[in-house]
Amino acid sequence: MAARSGRGQQERGGRRGGGPAGPQERTGRRGGGKPGPQPGGKPGLQPSGKPGSQPGGRGPRGERVERPSGNPYGRGRGAAPLAADARGRGSAPGFGSAGAPIPAAAAAGLQPNAAKRKGEWYEMKLPETLAAVPLNGLMRLLPIPAKVAGRLISVNGVQRQGKLLRLKLFPEERPEFEPEWMELNILYEDDFCLVVNKPDGIEVHPSAKGQRGTLAHGVAAYYDMTNQACRVRHIHRLDKDTTGPVLYAKNELAHYVFDAAMREKRIERIYTALAEGVIRDNKGVIDAPIGQDRHHSTRRRVSETGERAVTRYEVIERFADHTLVRLRLETGRTHQIRVHLSHLGHPIAGDGLYGGHRPIMQRQALHGEKLVWPHPWTGDRLSVHAQLPDDFAAALRALREPGRKPVR
């Protein structure tokens, strides 16, 4: 199969060292590798190395860092970059023990962005001015949450060797999912995070004991094939028949930061849906609590006793009997978009669980279009865009045909 490249978009603001930074595209490209065995007997590649040591796939001046080879997953169709949002580091977190962002480290003479990975360790040079500062003080200058910093110190995961500070951020881990080869579309990857474009018909992780064939099993196989001893840590989920980006954390630091970012709504998920009927308002907010449906174990419904759920929508295109909408989640309830659009009287096309019909789509026409997240080490905003899958694009083409008769 052809090698696949994933492309991400870095969104920077504020100043670092000199002048203001602008949008910078980051890639997850991989270099060449040699054939080797694959889980499940599939032909694959034995990579020549691990992901590049620079966070985000580029070096401190934006030079490209080559990724390990051997991605046998084919070239993905959904890895187009998006233009950077006009947001700065004000939306990025300060992760140090005292809430100190990277600029505090730079002011002290540390250069976290110049750190390099050496196996399980992340290494950076210490300036003379910090030679006598104890480890606890150094850790407060770094973009490491206090809880993670404390654990690193307690297990001897922080070492000072002359002018070199070493952090054991990448200890070898045993995956909890059995590797199972499958074709993946990698949208972005670096040492801290991975973004996979999930196809329809596959679950993010097992929902029953002994279940196989989930995206988690495929990611475990990918880590195994690329010699990455990482646990599979998904940060958010998509429904089985929903497509789009899924974010993974590769180490404890990233997992901790991403969990906090989800709670604080600093991870943005933007979706595209094809709703039945014509939505009249160009934009709107659906603020309706969602709870369990007492009569159906897998359904959710709008309920006064449910949890608060807020979805913002805007109309992209109207058809004779359907509307293409873009949606932004302010909360992350199960089936939130599906429930809210159904509650609005415009169920998603193909979503039989919530009143949709299937002449146009044989599954719910819901796609994760864009994912924006803060990098767990630099704090920079990164984004990926996933193109519409083939069946969704085909449905839109059919709706645009001149003289088409309504489907209902």
Q: Contact at 8 Å (CB) between 291 and 305?
A: yes
CA 239 to chain centre: 15
- Residue 357 one-letter amino acid: H
Of 272, 253, 271, residue with least CA distance to 374: 253
Q: Contact at 8 Å (CB) between 8 and 56?
A: yes
Which of 190, 224, 239, 380 does the annotation list as catalytic? Answer: 239
Sign of the Cα torsion 55, 57, 62, 66 reads positive
Of 379, 392, 304, residue with least CA distance to 349: 392
191 is catalytic: no
Q: Tell me how far apart the alpha carbons of residues 64 and 42 are, in angstroms, rounded to a whole number.
A: 30
In order, the DSSP letters of 308-357 are --EEEEEEEEE-SSEEEEEEEESS--TTHHHHHHHHTT-PBTT-GGGT--
Query: In angstroms, what CA-CA distances link 186 with 203, 219, 356, 381?
Result: 17, 10, 31, 18
3-class state of residue 189 by DSSP: strand
Q: Tell me how far apart the alpha carbons of residues 340 and 255 are, in angstroms, rounded to a whole number.
A: 29
Q: Specify the DSSP element, H or E, that contains 136.
A: helix 135-141
Q: Tell me how far apart the alpha carbons of residues 151 and 149 are, in angstroms, rounded to a whole number.
A: 5
Indicate which residues carry an active-site annotation: 239
